[in-house]
Chains A and B, each alone.
Chain A
């Protein structure tokens, strides 16, 4: 897996966490359980730093997808896109495709072969 793809996956994990903290119901539930969620700004700084390391065009694609999907980048499993479960064409699994991120033609999510 390329470094930029790894960065994007880490960014997605972080975005999911930030989204949870910003969600009032979730953060209230966590606070009621005793957790102190005081470091949102630290997460946002980490997010900015991580995003700046991702190539701009790739970041734009990801961010557009992330507006619609919680999971915008994900691995291929059993020759299917795990986002929309559509079966992927065999061309998806050619040797060149194993390095580059690909797009699911059905849902548009970014896919990689693990």
Chain B
């Protein structure tokens, strides 16, 4: 997947550059509420329950300060990607035990297969392996700079 294709999944309305919550469940709740305010989901409860179940399967906080909450639900109509950032960090029970600063939430409709979100996950995980990109993601505070990271301007 090319960077331009990857960035096409992001929307300015679906970016939270200053996440307030500091704990896992409250962070997920804040993110899901944002999706509801932007009218992207039909029901907050279903999405939150699904994401909590997903975390019970194993934390999506992969370490290095980045988490990838994801899953499929009847309450989402189309593939949706949300970016969130917390300067202070969230205790997201990450695999390395460190605070999480960057979140990529990926939601897919239940009638679509897992491959719809796996491809995006894979690209994003590849991206954060690059130290310069990861640093830039930690520092981004607006949509143009986020787009810039995907377009390679921060290399």
Contact = CB atoms under 8 A, between A and B. Distances in A.
Residue with the highest number of chain B CB atoms closer than 10 Å, among A17, A20, A36: A17
B136 interface: no
Main secondary structure of the interface of B (DSSP, over half): mixed
Residue with the highest number of chain A CB atoms closer than 10 Å, among B57, B71, B125: B57
B72 A35 contact: no
Nearest to B73: A13
Interface stretch (A55-63, A69-77, A99-107): A69-77
Interface string A16-54: 110011010010011001111111101100100000000
B56 interface: yes
Contacts of B75: 9, 13
A71 B62 contact: no
B: interface residue count bin: 20 to 34
A114 B49 CA distance: 19
B74 A13 contact: yes
A38 B95 CA distance: 12
A82 B95 CA distance: 39
B142 to A, nearest CB: 28
Interface in B53-89: 53-54, 56-60, 62-63, 71-75
A40 B45 CA distance: 21
Interface residues of A, number: 32
Nearest to A36: B58
B26 interface: no
B25 interface: no
A17 B54 contact: yes
A12 B58 contact: no
B71 A39 contact: no
A40 B57 contact: yes
Interface of A: 6, 9-10, 12-14, 16-17, 20-21, 23, 26, 29-30, 33-40, 42-43, 46, 70-71, 73-75, 82, 114
Which 10 pairs across A and B sit closest by C-beta, in order of nearness? Answer: A36-B58, A39-B57, A42-B56, A13-B50, A34-B62, A71-B111, A13-B73, A39-B56, A26-B114, A37-B58
